[in-house]
Amino acid sequence: MERLIHTPAADGYWMPGEYEPHHGTIMIWPERPGSWIYGAVGAREAFAKVIRAIAKSEEVYVATSSSGMASAMEQLGGQEHVHLFIMPTDDAWARDVAPTFVINAEKKVRAVNWGFNAWGGTFDGLYADWTKDNAFAQEVADAYGYECYDAAPFVLEGGAIHSDGEGTLMVCEACLLSKGRNPKLSKEQITQKLEEYLGIKKVLWLPRGIYQDETNEHVDNVCAFIRPGEVVLAWTENEADPQYGLSMATYQYLSDVTDAKGRRLRIHKLPIPDYPVCITKEELAGYAFEEGEDEREAGERLAASYVNFYFTNEAVLIPAFGGENEESDARAVSIMRKLCPEREMILIPARDILVGGGNIHCITQQIPKGQKA
| pLDDT (tens digit per residue) in 255-312 | 999 999 999 999 999 999 999 999 999 999 999 999 999 999 999 999 999 999 999 9
| Mean of pLDDT over the chain | 97
4 within a domain of the structure (yes/no): no
* pLDDT (mean) for 128-146: 97
Task: pLDDT band for 2, please (50, 70, 90 cuts).
Answer: low
Packing angle between helix 41-54 and helix 69-76, nearest 10 degrees?
A: 50
Q: How many domains are contained in the chain? A: 1
Residue 14 covered by a domain:
no
373 confidence band (pLDDT: 50, 70, 90): confident
Confirm whether 134 is domain-assigned.
yes
pLDDT, one tens digit per residue, over 102-115 is 999 999 999 999 99
Q: What's the CA gap between 29 and 43, in Å, rounded?
A: 9
Query: pLDDT tens digits, residue range 192-218?
Result: 999 999 999 999 999 999 999 999 999
* SS3 of the chain: helix, strand, coil, percent, to 5: 30, 25, 45
Residue 69 lies in a domain: yes
Catalytic site includes residue 172: no
CATH number at residue 143: 3.75.10.10
Q: How far is CA 315 from the centre of its chain?
A: 17
Residues of the domain holding 321: 22-372
Q: 326-346: per-residue pLDDT in tens? A: 999 999 999 999 999 999 999
**Residue environment code for 245-276, b if the CB has 16+ CB neighbours within 10 A, otherwise e:** ebbeebbebbeeeebbeeeebeeeebbbbbeb
In a domain, 12, yes or no: no
pLDDT classification of 22: cutoffs 50, 70, 90: very high
Exactly one of 148, 175, 223, 362 is catalytic; name it: 362
User: Does residue 1 lie within any of the structural domains?
Assistant: no
Asked, for residue 5, whether it belongs to a domain, the answer is no
Q: Identify whether 17 is part of a domain.
A: no
15 vs 168: CA distance, rounded Å:
9
